[in-house]
Chain A
Amino acid sequence: MAEAILEVRELCKDFGGLRALDHVDLEIYPEQIVALIGPNGAGKTTFFNCVTGIYEPTEGDIFVLDRKGKKRRINGYKPNKVTELGLARTFQNIRLFPNMTVLENVMIGRHTRTKSWIFGALFRDRRTKEEEKETIEVSYEILKKMRLEKFVNELASNLPYGAQRRLEIARALASEPSLLLLDEPAAGMNPQETKELEGLIEQIRDQEKIAILLIEHDMKLVMNISDVVYVMEYGRLLAKGTPQEIKEDERVIKAYLGEDHDA
């Protein structure tokens, strides 16, 4: 089997006295879709934040394969460094750049793939011009893939909710990640939009050949597209397995009993 693109070992994160993550292990292989589920407050978003460098883990190791295929321990890396290594994410509560246009939002996503700086900005040499042209083209292509092309010059804040979620994915894709982390991409979407999203996520995996780690409360979506499902509760891993295994797992059913997880 190929090497894991993300490998997390014994990850812990404390907030004061609260242990939000308690010895979590997780690995993802190329072109896999892995889902992370669990009741509210289980620590899923915290896990994302630790992996992407927004929080520093208290204990444990996070390894990723960088773009050259070298394994690296990224504990304590700043978020921008993590993104450079090939991880890109979306946020649970949408964090677009509301007063910039849709296209510009995606262009920001190209930041790690481009280079020009003050000199390039002032003198617009040939390289900068080409880079800029490419940025626009690639961004536009991504928007098309995410079916957002009709909004190109709209301000991000004027988009309908579902489109904003897709724009977040587009922006993350623009950095050409090897692993895409989606935090509740279907939250607030209606069933039809969710269905479309399902198709989009699979399409991304197939076309871009990247791995996807997904937090989601919509069980139908999770069970339909995931290769592996991890279940968390109170910061601990409860179970890991294929969707079929998870569906039948006693502990998972118990943890979810009475939980309105389809909401």
Chain B
Amino acid sequence: MDYFLELFFGGLTRGSIYALIALGYTMVYGIIELINFAHGEIYMIGAFTALIVAGVCSLLGLNLISILILAIIISMFYSAAYGYTVEKIAYKPLRNAPRLSPLISAIGMSIFLQNYVLLAQTSDFVPFPSLIPEFEFMEPVAHIMGSSELVIIVVTAIAMVILSLFIKFTKIGKAMRATAQDRKMALLCGVNVDRVISVTFIIGSALAALGGVLIASHIGQINFYIGFIAGIKAFTAAVLGGIGSIPGAVLGGLVLGWTESFATGYVSSDYEDVFAFCLLVIILIFRPAGILGRTNTQKV
């Protein structure tokens, strides 16, 4: 039973991170129908920024909690800035281009950002300080769930709640929903679509950075390549849940996290990623629009 619970919470942790990254994919896809391949790199940059902040701060002698908070805030801010800039350079000029062009541009951007970090920082794995403190009250259940896992789950949940409130009640949130439904119509109704797209990229990137900081300090090492596989997994999660759907991204992330956790725990750890993709294929065969995606018949 303990083993089961351990896998359960391990999967939940993993799934939370996938969900955080998947949100960025899903929101961007919902609005401009682009698979933003560079999103994983934004997450990676978030983790690196946090590493740098943590390094500088610990030299200044700050305590763990304030380092964690500073690292999260600064890396979210910087990732958002990167996301914003990437959109302006690589996607905005391609608004009316053939459908595949922005995708190639995104892949190019992803390669560029990976190598940018590789050159400016390092190609090796670097140890990442564990920024999340060990709570004493967690000790009795430590074999099931660690402190960092608790923090990840709680922080993710808070972020989700804030995001849904934001989208539901703010003006720009409403504009986002309108744009996702029908971009032309939103434009005609006076929505500043460019601004909506920018905000979407900013929010998505910030969430990815949050995920990056949390998982990096949980796992304890990063390199320039972590964005790729995390990005693909998160995108898988977004599609699983039904791309364009925000609750779908969260659900997809969790389902994916649990699948991986249980499959590696009970079956074999070699094929971790194979399980993820098999799950995707199976679900899409039975629900071609994802778990929560709506299969609306195309109007002809």
Contact = CB atoms under 8 A, between A and B. Distances in A.
B185 to A, nearest CB: 15
Majority SS at the chain B contact face = loop
Nearest to B98: A99
Interface in B264-300: 297, 300
Contacts of B300: 45, 49, 54, 91, 95
Contacts of A45: 300
Contacts of B297: 15, 55
Contacts of A49: 300
Contacts of A54: 300
Interface residues of A, number: 7
B48 to A, nearest CB: 43
Interface in A1-51: 15, 45, 49
A54 B300 CA distance: 8
Nearest to A54: B300
Interface in A128-177: none
Interface residues of B, number: 2
Contacts of A91: 300
B124 to A, nearest CB: 48
B86 to A, nearest CB: 29
A208 to B, nearest CB: 25
A154 B300 CA distance: 26
Nearest to A46: B300
Contacts of A55: 297
Nearest to B297: A55
B90 to A, nearest CB: 25
B289 to A, nearest CB: 16
B298 to A, nearest CB: 9
A147 B300 CA distance: 27
Nearest to A89: B300
Nearest to A92: B300
Nearest to A52: B300
A15 B294 CA distance: 13
A54 B297 CA distance: 9
Contacts of A95: 300
A95 B300 CA distance: 9
User: Which 7 pairs from chain A and chain B are nearest by CB?
Assistant: A54-B300, A49-B300, A55-B297, A91-B300, A45-B300, A15-B297, A95-B300
7 contacts: A15-B297, A45-B300, A49-B300, A54-B300, A55-B297, A91-B300, A95-B300
